Structure 1
Amino acid sequence: MAEIVPAILPKNFVDLREKLSLVKGLFRLVQIDIIDDKLEFENGLPFWEDFDFEIDLMIEEPENKLDYFINAGARRIIFHWGLAKNLDAVIKKLSGVADVGIALGLEIPINIIEPFIDKIDTVQVMGIKRIGFQGEPFEESVIDKVAILHEKYPQLAISVDGGVNLTNAPRLIKAGASRLVIGSAIFESGDLKAVIEKFKMLS
């Protein structure tokens, strides 16, 4: 079974609130993608009582934003390999406060996470080349990457983020993905509830 996680790339607080309202009651866990290190929400995260928030920090030096999102109530914080200056410090700060995830771009080898495998809760495999853009084409090589990860670390939660759709989702689940992070395939579908139901049937 794989968990379906809607992904929101918010332009501002109003945009975030609008998109969250579309999936309210349909999901508990939602991922918020942060590509602007100056983006903050003055009144905290909306609908905090209705969702568990997973924050995907796609920014340089994500350690500078940890306190803000910890205080905002993030359940899980994901940072991208190569963007944090001190990986150990980030993991240590999040320990016992929020789940920790490392995101691997297409060119990042799997074995890079070996020293941290006992310190993280999830690894997020990026399914697209251009990070931070929804609607990008899915890279088929990611399916093999997921399968290798799952075989090597069978107890590790594996998320796939980027380019996930109804066509490749079954193959990703079969390969060992435990979470499918989905943005445009849900929010730009034209029939949000029907598409969500189809994804949930696959999982």
Structure 2
Amino acid sequence: MEVIPSINCEDIACIAKKIAVVKKLGALWVHLDVGDGVFSSIKLWDKKEDIIKLKDEALAKMAPIVFEVHLMVKDPEEWIEVWLKAGAKRVIVHCEVIHDLEFLKKKCEEYGAELGLSIEFSSNIEKLTPFLTEGIEFVHVLSVPPGLQGQKFHEDALKRIELLHKRYPSILIEVDGGIDDKTGKLAKDAGADIFVSATYIFKAAKPDIAYQTLRKI
């Protein structure tokens, strides 16, 4: 199973420390959370000048690891380019707040990045499906409310994963939130292809063992 460690940090030092852990794990990707305090319950990287500084002091030094950014914001069109300039190779935006899909797609194409769409565990799947005829090949299912790490996995997410997998078998499905050895098994059985995990990996006494446990599911 592909596993992407998730970084939910408010400062550069925290991100740099976790990137160092990820390098030891041998992971190829990291997942960065961004919140505006409106769509999400927390603010994370909600000032563009801070993102530029983050790029210079941490993100530009993380090779060979690449990153995806999860925009838990009400206006993704306003924020996508600053993260593409920072080096994001995949940008995940919520279907619940998309205003201009073509704009988002063109920006990602311009920077050679992939656009992924996210849906919350509590949202009607029909909010997402109209976008899946527009060349989107990557879906992110958020199995917790948008906000802090360490939240409990909501099993309603499994219904979304199962339905997406059945309707769109070629689309990659990433699941994020409350992923551990037990919920990961449930998500894989439902049709998930990728796990995003923060607490289970970074709070473990031995992050490498936690990471490999998820990989082996």
Asked if the contact 2:142/2:175 (under 8 Å) is kept, the reply is: yes
Which is helix-richer, 1 or 2?
2
Name the count of aligned residue pairs: 200
Q: 1:82 deviation in Å?
A: 2.6
> Equivalent of 2:207, from 183, 186, 192?
192
Q: 1:81 deviation in Å?
A: 2.2
Q: Pick closer, same or farther for the CA change 1:109–1:43 going to 2, 3 Å.
A: closer
Q: Pick closer, same or farther for the CA change 1:43–1:177 going to 2, 3 Å.
A: closer
* Whole-angstrom distance in 2 between the partners of 1:162 and 1:49: 25
* Whole-angstrom distance in 2 between the partners of 1:77 and 1:127: 18
* Whole-angstrom distance in 2 between the partners of 1:47 and 1:186: 22
Q: Which letter does structure 2 place at the counterpart of 1:106?
A: F
Match status 1:92 vs 2:106: yes
TM-score of the two chains, using structure 2 as the length reference: 0.86
Q: Identity of paired residues, percent?
A: 27
**1:1-16 maps to which residues of 2 (within 5 A)?**
2-16=1-15
Aligned residue for 2:91? 77
Aligned residue for 1:122? 138
Aligned residue for 2:19? 20
Asked if the contact 2:19/2:62 (under 8 Å) is kept, the reply is: no
Ranges of 4+ aligned residues in structure 1 off by more than 4 Å? none
Aligned residue for 2:157? 142
- Which segment drifts farther, 79-88 or 27-36? 79-88
Aligned residue for 2:40? none
- CA distances 1:22-76 after superposition (whole Å, capped 9, x unpaired): 1114201111111132141415114332211101111221222222111121110
* Whole-angstrom distance in 2 between the partners of 1:170 and 1:47: 34
The CA RMSD over aligned residues, in Å, is: 1.6
Q: Which letter does structure 1 place at the counterpart of 2:143?
A: G
1:24 alignment partner, SS class: helix
* Whole-angstrom distance in 1 between the partners of 2:96 and 2:194: 23
1:167 alignment partner, SS class: helix
Q: 1:189 deviation in Å?
A: 1.6
Aligned residue for 1:30? 30
Stretches of structure 2 lacking an aligned partner (at least 5 in a row)? 36-43
* Whole-angstrom distance in 2 between the partners of 1:10 and 1:94: 24
Match status 1:49 vs 2:63: yes
> Equivalent of 2:195, from 163, 180, 183?
180
- CA distances 1:52-111 after superposition (whole Å, capped 9, x unpaired): 110111122122222211112111000112334323322232235211111101222223
Q: Pick closer, same or farther for the CA change 1:166–1:43 going to 2, 3 Å.
A: closer
